[in-house]
Amino acid sequence: MTLIATILAATATLPVFKGFEAPRYQQHDALILRFVNEFNSNPALWAGCSTGQRGSVRKLDPALVKAHMIQETGGSDPISRASWAIDPLQVNVPGDWNRYKAYLGLTKPRHRNEGSRETNIRAGIKYLARKGFGCSGQPALNSPESKFDGWNPALQRYNGRKDSATGGKPYCEVYADKIHKRKGEPGKHVPIQIKK
């Protein structure tokens, strides 16, 4: 990381989203800023893509990552609170494992909230970037012709649920819409719940 990038990362701030003002929702801000800065400096490494594929990867906004974390584990129930502390992007959950997650530095978990907070957040950002290239989450190099489709398709694939939700839209679309809306309108409360 360059000196200028380090200074910018150290002085940058993330929005405090309405309805999520409690201090615990701000506790990952420094890590988000650091990891997103590292991602934007070298997206090929994080997405597992070639130099040619790198050109299609769009810059990642740290506010999107924070809004995504809130969607995944921003609830007030005990499971959400425990997950927020260790695995806020829910990338390392038993029953949701695939072999490509080993490329992210993860080990197949036996229980929720295994691994370290830093490892899980880094892995969640990598996995989201890889989902931008396709549903499997594998390194983009494995499909040399693939291009990055954008952060919205990446979020939809990250969740992947196709069952019907609000207004008949697929659950994964409503999920991604909520994250984008929260990011775009931090002063407006965007609840986590998705109605079916």
Residue 112: what pLDDT?
A: 94
What band does 11 get if pLDDT is binned at 50, 70 and 90? low
Instruction: Please tell me the predicted confidence (pLDDT) of residue 166.
Output: 80
Sequence-ordered alpha helix ranges (H) in 17-89: 29-41, 43-47, 51-54, 62-73, 78-86
CATH number of 24-184: 1.10.530
Give the predicted TM-score (pTM) of the model: 0.93
Q: How is residue 116 written in tokens?
A: 């370290």
In the chain, domain spans: 24-184
d(CA 100, CA 102): 5
- pLDDT at res. 2: 55
What pLDDT digit, counting tens, does each position of 140-156 carry?
999 999 999 999 999 99
Predicted confidence (pLDDT) per residue in 37-69, tens digit? 999 999 999 999 999 999 999 999 999 999 999
Place of tokens 């597992």: 48
